[in-house]
Amino acid sequence: MAKIKICGLTREEDALYVNTYKPDFVGFIFAPGRRRTLTIEKAKAISNKIDKAIIKVGVFLDQDIDYVMQVIDEGIIDAIQLHGKEDESYISRLRERTTLPIIKAYSNINGCDYVLYDNIEPGSGETFDWSTMDTTKPFFIAGGINKDNVLDALALKPYAVDVSSGVETDGFKDPKKIEEIIRMVRTYEG
C-alpha cells in the first residue's frame, strides 16, 4: 500500500488536521522564497504539535548543509527532501553529518533513499508527464496530486504520493480534503 505525505504545513491548526487523519509523512518547506516557506521557529512550533508516529520531512532547495543541520538539531524533522541541484558530493557531505533518510527530487543520485518526481515548479499545483519517471527505485510522486488524479498516481505504484495544494482551499490546508485524499490512498486496491 502506498504511503501519503501532506506537504506545506504552515499553521499550527494544520498539525491538528494531520494528527486527526494520520498521513505517513508531513512536509515543512524551508526553501527560500516560496509561499509556504517557514522559519525555523514557526516550523518548530508546528512540529512540536505533530503526532510522533508521523514522519516530518524538511524540504530544502540548494541550501547550506549547516542550515539543514540546524533544522535537524532543533528536532524539527525526521527526514530530508532535497529539491534543488544538490549533487552526489553534497549528499555525501550531508551523509557524513546525519543518518536521516534523504529524498532527492528529480534524480536517482547515489546516497539517497528515495526519488521524488514533481513538477519543475514545485508547489504550483500542476501535474507533469508521469511517463518520464524512472520507477526502478522507491519513489514519491508529487505535482498537482488531488482527489481527481490520485488513483491514477497510485496506479504507477509509488512508494508515496505527496500532496500539498490538492488538499487546500483558498491557500490553506482543508481538513475535509485531507481526510478524503488519505481515505482514497488507504483504501486503494490497485
Catalytic residues: 7, 118
Q: Regarding beta strands 168-169 and 172-173, do their DSSP bridges make them parallel or antiparallel, or are they unpaired?
A: antiparallel
User: In the numeric block, which cell numbers belong to residue 53?
Assistant: 508516529
Contact 30, 56 (CB under 8 A): no
The kind and range of the H/E element at 82 are strand 79-82
Backbone angles phi, psi at 140, to 5 degrees: -100, 145
In contact, 28 and 9? CB cutoff 8 Å: yes
